[in-house]
């Protein structure tokens, strides 16, 4: 009788274990493409051919973007300095790292990276988004962690090893796969539904002030006929993404006042001294402070710099050189209108999109 009872108990245990096993999800590789949609006027994005966007790859990248274990003490993630409601930038002039040290340049916003062609960071020192993604992790002024430690920490998490299987077909964690996943997620962060985009599509109208600001923005500077002169912004902030992909000196400092020589540190070319990447103006009202060193707190200060504050130096851009002696000559109302137009470039859908939130 005891023997029969024991066999019965064993059968029950086996049945329970089998049922529990059926409830455990087994991670499998899933190459379902991520559907990347964009407006026709943007043109085809330059998506990496060796890192196809997949739903699971993007999901892994998003997990990593918000993962504080990427930092030395587990207190900071990429999202700590790239906040969605701030256009994935930082409201602080300089971001503070895990050791309480401050960075040397303002955190750049993240969006429409698939149309970015000129290298990443203010000085373009990273050729690809995947290369860029690993540098803040290792920077002593930022997350101050080693890639070896990152791999070790993620490898102990079943949540992550399972997601690496879904994204890459293997549970093996590597810094390369981390960078590829981060690249995938950041490529999907897009912004092209601002009030100005809606205006172009005929869905809304601009106010009188916004329309005057739009005209000033796209009208060239004319020193000979002031009544026909504009703010001449579109030479540098052109195309659907309001950037020209160039590194330029926009007259912030004289030669003797340079404290950051910008792209020259990367190229070792004197011609690049004091030049920095021209950023997109999309969501500009949400990404203060402004310039590579965050010296301007408001858009009004930025407009006044171009109106009357451009300084002469050996590498100042030829595009703004004609305005140095006399300035743009904008009236008080002109400056108000120009700022009001710049505010129409904010994209509330992008700033609140739950697909980008933790």
| pLDDT of residue 120 exceeding 70 | yes
pLDDT tens-digit profile of 43-61? 999 899 999 999 999 999 9
Distance, in Å, from the CA atom of 280 to the CA atom of 261, rounded to the nearest integer, reads 21
Angle between helices 147-155 and 175-187 (to 10 degrees): 90
Q: How high is the pLDDT of residue 118?
A: 86
Identical fold, 40-190 and 195-351: yes
Q: Check if CATH label 1.10.760.10 holds for domain 195-351.
A: yes
Burial 183-213 (b: 16+ CB within 10 A, else e): bbbbbbbbbbbbbbbebeeeeeebeeebbbb
Q: How high is the pLDDT of residue 143?
A: 98
The closest alpha carbon to 277, from 306, 219, 233, 237, belongs to: 237
Considering only the top CATH level, what class is 40-190? mainly alpha
> Mean pLDDT score of the chain, rounded to an integer?
93
Handedness of CA 277, 281, 287, 288 (dihedral sign): positive
* For range 163-189, the mean pLDDT: 98
Q: How high is the pLDDT of residue 117?
A: 83
Residue 290: strand pairing partners: 296
Burial bucket for residue 215 (CB in 10 Å: 0-12, 13-18, 19+) = middle
Q: How high is the pLDDT of residue 227?
A: 87
* For range 58-69, the mean pLDDT: 98
Helices (H), 72-174: 78-81, 129-138, 147-155, 158-168
Q: How high is the pLDDT of residue 2?
A: 53
Q: How high is the pLDDT of residue 7?
A: 47
Residue 114: strand pairing partners: none
pTM over 0.75: yes
| pLDDT of residue 27 exceeding 60 | yes
**Candidate from 8-22, 70-84, 128-142, 199-213 with smallest mean pLDDT:** 8-22
pLDDT tens-digit profile of 280-313? 999 999 999 999 999 999 999 999 999 999 999 9
Q: How high is the pLDDT of residue 226?
A: 87
Please work out, in degrees rounded to the nearest 5, the angle formed at the alpha carbon of residue 71 by the alpha carbons of 142 and 82: 60
Q: Where are the domains of the chain?
A: 40-190, 195-351
* Side-chain-facing half-sphere of 296: CA atoms under 13 Å: 17
Distance, in Å, from the CA atom of 259 to the CA atom of 254, rounded to the nearest integer, reads 10
Q: How high is the pLDDT of residue 23?
A: 54
The closest alpha carbon to 304, from 313, 314, 316, 295, belongs to: 295
Query: What percent of the chain is predicted at pLDDT more than 90?
Result: 89
Q: How high is the pLDDT of residue 297?
A: 98
* For range 212-220, the mean pLDDT: 97
């Amino acid at each position: 009788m005891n023997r029969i009872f024991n066999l019965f108990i064993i059968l029950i245990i086996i049945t329970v274990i089998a049922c529990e096993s059926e409830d455990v999800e087994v991670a499998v590789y899933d190459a379902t493409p991520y559907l990347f949609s964009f407006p026709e006027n943007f043109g085809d994005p330059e998506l990496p051919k060796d890192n196809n966007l997949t739903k699971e790859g993007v999901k892994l990248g998003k997990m990593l973007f918000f993962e504080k274990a990427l930092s030395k003490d587990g207190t900071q993630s990429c999202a700590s300095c790239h906040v969605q409601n701030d256009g994935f930038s930082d409201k602080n002039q300089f971001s503070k790292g895990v050791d309480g040290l401050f960075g040397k340049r303002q955190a750049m916003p993240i969006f429409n990276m698939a149309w970015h062609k000129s290298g990443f960071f203010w000085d373009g020192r990273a050729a690809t988004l995947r290369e860029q993604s690993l540098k803040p992790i290792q920077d002593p002024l930022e997350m101050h962690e080693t890639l070896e430690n990152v791999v070790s920490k993620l490898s102990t998490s079943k949540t992550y090893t399972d997601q690496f299987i879904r994204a890459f077909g293997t549970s093996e964690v590597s810094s390369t796969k981390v960078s590829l996943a981060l690249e995938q997620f950041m490529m999907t962060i897009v912004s092209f539904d601002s009030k100005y985009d809606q205006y172009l599509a005929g869905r809304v109208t601009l106010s009188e002030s916004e329309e005057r600001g739009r005209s000033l923005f796209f009208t060239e500077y004319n020193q000979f006929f002031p009544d026909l002169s504009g703010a001449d912004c579109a030479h540098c902030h052109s195309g659907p993404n309001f950037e020209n992909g160039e590194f330029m000196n926009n007259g912030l400092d004289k030669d003797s006042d340079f404290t950051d020589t910008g792209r020259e540190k990367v190229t070792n070319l004197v011609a690049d001294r004091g030049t920095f990447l021209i950023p997109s103006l999309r969501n500009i009202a949400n990404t203060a402070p402004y310039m590579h060193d965050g010296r301007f707190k408001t858009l009004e200060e930025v407009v006044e710099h171009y109106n009357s504050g451009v300084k002469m130096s050996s590498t100042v851009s030829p595009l703004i050189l004609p305005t140095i002696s006399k300035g743009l000559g904008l009236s008080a109302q002109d400056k108000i209108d120009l700022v009001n137009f710049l505010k129409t470039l904010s994209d509330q859908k992008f700033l609140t999109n739950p697909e980008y939130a933790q």
